[in-house]
Amino acid sequence: NAGVTQTPKFQVLKTGQSMTLQCAQDMNHNSMYWYRQDPGMGLRLIYYSASEGTTDKGEVPNGYNVSRLNKREFSLRLESAAPSQTSVYFCASSEALTGGANTGELFFGEGSRLTVL
Amino acid sequence: AQKVTQAQTEISVVEKEDVTLDCVYETRDTTYYLFWYKQPPSGELVFLIRRNSFDEQNEISGRYSWNFQKSTSSFNFTITASQVVDSAVYFCALSSYKLIFGSGTRLLVRP
């Protein structure tokens, strides 16, 4: 009954450090996403992966990289963390994009709270 | 370009009042989907409803109802007889090939 699992749940970094947020889903979904949530900004899409082997930029990709390791896993990497990347990060998955339209409900992880000092 | 606007940043009501959360969207696509998600204080995101662009029929689910009007590009959400447990941040979202969220409306229901 795991759904979407993100690790770590909390992380504190110093400016310039790197880290990877891990995400795994067990629902056999093809599409996976990374969002960040900031106060008053809602959720903003960082990167998404429509299917295994593909990744695309979202609204705010700068400063991030992603890897779709396999169908289950989609990681988000910060190569050189900046205070502006302090946020709550959500991973999500959904059924395959169909005809260019994301028709499916997104299933979200519990979020990862990242603080960059 | 896609855009979702939730102009109400925060709404405060007394329990049992009805409340409507507004959502206005922009898209050039003819096929798209609209969603509402709830984020309670615990932080998780909970799916509430999905509508496609070809189905303007309003929907009711218990105390929740949704009004989709393509003519005004709106997808409003009404909670009837609000309860304290309805207190949360509510997000409207639009999807063609990427799901884009509005900035959210924080609803506070006071006893």
- Does residue A89 belong to the interface with chain B, where contact is any CB pair within 8 Å? no
Chain A residue with Cα closest to B89: A42
- Contact check, Cβ <8 Å, B50/A105: yes
Residue listed under structure tokens 């995400």:
A23
Question: Are the beta carbons of B98 and A48 closer than 8 angstroms?
Answer: yes
DSSP type of residue A70: S
A74 pLDDT more than 70: yes
Cα A83 to Cα A12, A46, A86, B104: the distances in Å are 11, 17, 6, 23
Average pLDDT for chain B? 92
pLDDT score recorded for residue B1:
78
Q: Show residues of chain A in contact with B97, CB under 8 Å.
A: 50, 97, 100-102
- CA dist., res. B64 & res. A106, Å (int): 20
Q: Show residues of chain A in contact with B104, CB under 8 Å.
A: 42
**Which tens digits make up the pLDDT trace of B41-71?**
988 899 898 888 888 888 888 999 999 999 9
